[in-house]
Structure 1
Amino acid sequence: MQVFLKIISGAGLLALVACGAQQPAQAQSQPAASTAGFAPKDLTGLAQATFAGGCFWAQEEAFEEIKGVKQVVSGYAGGTVPHPSYEQVAGQATGHTETVNIYYDPKEVSYKTLAQIFFQASHDPTQLNRQGPDTGPEYRSAVFYRTPEEKKIIDDVVAQVNASKEYDSKIVTQVVPFKQFWPAEEYHQGYYRLHPDNPYIATVSEHKVARVRKLFPLDLKPDLPSL
């Protein structure tokens, strides 16, 4: 995991800032055992989508703001170690990438719409093992599909976005079958709204959320918190 320098407004000091860098010491190496504490209590009628697009703080907030999305859980997927901690994932030895698991009502929002938001707005799918200032395979772009239908939707959206020349480069997102999602530590859940003054949120995350709001205004929930 790499960090970048930012001058904190008014302080005149250089500070190292990175996704997950500022965390409660007592919470380190204590990943959640299951999604039970974070997922909706009633899953009746809900579907799930699992996307990885860099720091999960911004991804969680971006999809929380979409109509039909009932809950978004930050966590890890794509690796081999069960119940990984943030420190293990950041150490790049587990194979996981920071991921969000989205619980949504398919009667209110389609998987295709979520995929379009992911590929067109919530992150840069042309960056391989990085997103902006965050560098490493734990920030790689990935989609974990559950059904052949989801795989076809993903392939179609990727083809459409590539053909549109929206980006200067081709999409490099990893598209793989879903195997397991591990929720991140509790302090990561809802981090964007709980810590609006965090320099990383203000400098990096807000821009991603703002892009989703700009490109998909008709898909947003009403009464969103201001940026």
Structure 2
Amino acid sequence: MKNIFTFIFVTLLFSCQNNAQVNSKQQAVIDAKPIEVALENGKAKAYFASGCFWCVEAIYESIKGVDEVISGYSGGYTKSPTYESSNTGRTGHAEAVEVIYDPKIVSFATLVDVYFGSQNPTQVNGQGPDKGSQYRSIIFYQNDEQKQIILKKKEALAKQLNTKIAAEVYPFQKFWVAEDYHQNYERLHPENPYIQNVSIPRLNRFKAKFPELLKSKH
């Protein structure tokens, strides 16, 4: 009997951690009106969650027209999330990136193509070895035009693969910048075992698929 109770407890705990997004506070985030980020010096911002932000930051920074990518947290209901609190899976947030780009060089639609083309689009609550709601895939829209771009591309990919696409589609609300040591992590820590075995291979797979989008090497 004790083993049964232990199993039930562990199951419920795992469920709570990995489905942290399913509650009334999270539903309010999903149902909210999107916030549109104004252009700054002609540059736009877009927001994506696709597993470990170390990986995603490096992918978007390789794209022509992208000026900078910042790692952080978004999609949840908890104020001022930290790496430690996000890792509990109980903040509602996912590891995310803020992509600062020149819309005259690269379109939002292309950034969405990069998003779907740089991950396993069918993996629920994670990417690769990183599992949990804090690593789930979310793509954020700031207006109805962006929402329609996302939904059409998601639907087309589902038809192409003949399966359900895991990415959630959220109205953008707020982006919380991650701790300094997470920024440019892949570039600054190339010898890290995770970077060597997960991040760099993921980046290289992306580069092989989209060579025409990459910044030229000087």
TM-score using structure 1 length: 0.77
Is 1:117 matched up with 2:111?
Answer: no
Partner of 1:43: 40
- Mark the structure with the bigger radius of gyration: 2
Shift of 1:49: 0.9
Is 1:94 matched up with 2:68?
Answer: no
Partner of 2:150: 154
SS at match of 1:81: coil
Alignment of 1:39-188 (within 5 A): 43-120=40-117, 122-165=118-161, 169-188=163-182
The aligned amino acid for 2:104 is K
The aligned amino acid for 1:157 is K
What is the count of residue pairs matched by the alignment? 180
Q: What do residues 118-151 of structure 1 show as CA deviations (whole Å, max 9, x unaligned)? A: 112x211211111111110000000111010100
Shift of 1:163: 2.1
Is 1:221 matched up with 2:218?
Answer: no
Is 1:197 matched up with 2:191?
Answer: yes
SS at match of 2:68: strand
Q: What do residues 140-198 of structure 1 show as CA deviations (whole Å, max 9, x unaligned)? A: 00011101010011011112222222xx6321111010001001000000000000010
State how far apart, in whole Å, the 2-side matches of 1:214 and 1:169 are: 24
Q: What do residues 4-53 of structure 1 show as CA deviations (whole Å, max 9, x unaligned)? A: xxxxxxxxxxxxxxxxxxxxxxxxxxxxxxxxxxxxxx931111110000
The aligned amino acid for 2:213 is D
State how far apart, in whole Å, the 1-side matches of 2:74 and 2:113 are: 20
- How many percent identity over aligned positions? 47
- Asked if structure 2 preserves the Cα contact closer than 8 Å seen for 1:53 and 1:124, the reply is no
Q: Over aligned residues, Cα RMSD in angstroms?
A: 1.4
SS at match of 1:109: coil
Q: What do residues 90-115 of structure 1 show as CA deviations (whole Å, max 9, x unaligned)? A: 01221110000101111000111110
The aligned amino acid for 1:85 is T
State how far apart, in whole Å, the 1-side matches of 2:107 and 2:79 are: 30
Unaligned runs of 5+ in 2: 1-38
The aligned amino acid for 2:217 is D
- Asked if structure 2 preserves the Cα contact closer than 8 Å seen for 1:53 and 1:125, the reply is no
State how far apart, in whole Å, the 1-side matches of 2:97 and 2:205 are: 18
- Asked if structure 2 preserves the Cα contact closer than 8 Å seen for 1:143 and 1:173, the reply is yes
SS at match of 1:82: coil
- Asked if structure 2 preserves the Cα contact closer than 8 Å seen for 1:128 and 1:140, the reply is yes
